[in-house]
Amino acid sequence: MMVDLRARISELMGAVHPELAELVAIRSVADPRQFPPEECTKAAEWVRDRFAELGFADARLELTPDGSQAVVGSRPTDDPDAPTVLLYAHYDVQPPLDESAWRTPPFELTEVDGRWYGRGAADCKGNIVMHLLALRALGDSLPVNLKLVVEGSEEQGTGGLEAYVTANPEVLRADTILVCDTGNAAVGRPAATVSLRGMANVVVTVEALASEVHSGMFGGPAPDALAALIELLADLRDERGNTTIEGLDATGTWHGEPYSSEQFRTDAGVLDGVELIGDGTVSDMLWTRPAVTVLGIDCPPVTGSSAAIVPRAAARLNLRIPPGTDAHEAHDALVVQLRRSAPWGVNVDVRTEAIGSPFEASVDGPGFRAMSEAMHEAYGTPMTTLGQGGSIPLCNVLADTYPGVEIILMGVEEPLALIHAPNESVDPSEIERLALSLALFLQGYGTRVR
């Protein structure tokens, strides 16, 4: 059957580019300040209609608490003992940012050197068409119950689907959930993501003076709020660049697929002569250790600055938290250190913006084993495991709502896809082989768990 599925998917690939082009052309940025909300509705309706054609007779739009619409549906089998698989993706996309940095129009799917370029081509509209391709190849031959959710506000992080799941737990209950919003180690190297970092975002404000004062008349004994902020921020890292927050373990090691320093330098655009930071491997630093980043600073800009001592300065910080560390405890440790590190008795205020827990997937269940076998067959090489530095809060909500569920993270978003950046693209061979992997998984999983 595997040969038949491979041939069938290859035959159907001709329709994937025009279909993905339709979806990419919809400017579904879930921010009405940047794009009309009607674009998100149009994308949701497009997704609903395509899955309705494939047996999801009850496919519908569900309003979630943040105002976005999720496409929800189901496709049952006649077998009461068949397991249930939930397919997840999202149709909203990041804004195109600086359109002048794009080599091709961001909302026009364009082929260049074998890759398809466009906003959402990989994240996550490429995964939507991957689902459609797999289901079309399978036809009516499906030994599992299917459920579907394609959300519309994942990129905004406003938690609409998370709140919907909590309020409507039976709608999406399943034995295995395929969260198709990550990717492979590289083109042709299949992987499941098993580790996600959590995060804590805070804004720290330092105040030292009632107002600006002349640096010539008062400079020396008068405390400088910007200098105090710089000293406070410097205490968060050591001379090698390791994050050093008291109480947080910074010695973790990664045991899955390694991320070579050479590949990382290329992927991250590290300039020649600039060193990577930290004492661990790239994989260690990314996926098993805390990492603090200064996202922005409020202070006088160079242009227009005057000979005055800065009375007040602020910084926005992002702390990434590895699995095994409690996100709230990590947040609290960061706050304590910020307050303790402030010099000269300056006033320090820390405002919390968001806290998200890390996630670690199980790798010993029947779903994971079935996916490993399916990817091996589809790619001709064993499936490996990856971590991901970003956070997907939905995974924790799903794990808490459905104890014992298997959550498998996968998708078409390998490093060259440049998701969230200008010139996002997808390799069509990833869509083809992931669709074959999904089709083989749905067949094999239905047999394995009986």
Contacts of 245 (CB under 8 A, 6+ apart): 236, 290, 292, 319, 330, 333, 334, 337
Q: How many residues does the chain have?
A: 450
d(CA 191, CA 295) in angstroms, rounded, equals 30
- Residue 31, token pair as written in the block: 């921010």
Asked if 274 contacts 227 with a C-beta cutoff of 8 angstroms, the reply is no
Contacts of 305 (CB under 8 A, 6+ apart): none
Helix H or strand E encompassing 15: none
3-state SS string over 353-379? EEEECCEECCCCCHHHHHHHHHHHHHH
- Residue 405, token pair as written in the block: 């569920």
Task: Tally Cβ neighbours within 10 Å of residue 442.
Answer: 22
Q: What are phi and psi of 88, to 5 degrees?
A: -120, 140
Reply yes or no on whether 154 is catalytic: yes
d(CA 407, CA 396) in angstroms, rounded, equals 10
* Marked catalytic residue, from 92, 151, 373, 424: 92
Reply yes or no on whether 162 is catalytic: no
d(CA 56, CA 36) in angstroms, rounded, equals 28
* Marked catalytic residue, from 66, 154, 155, 430: 154
For residue 124, cis peptide bond before it (omega within 30 degrees of 0): yes
Task: Tally Cβ neighbours within 10 Å of residue 348.
Answer: 18
Asked if 237 contacts 290 with a C-beta cutoff of 8 angstroms, the reply is no
Q: Supply the residues annotated as catalytic.
A: 92, 154
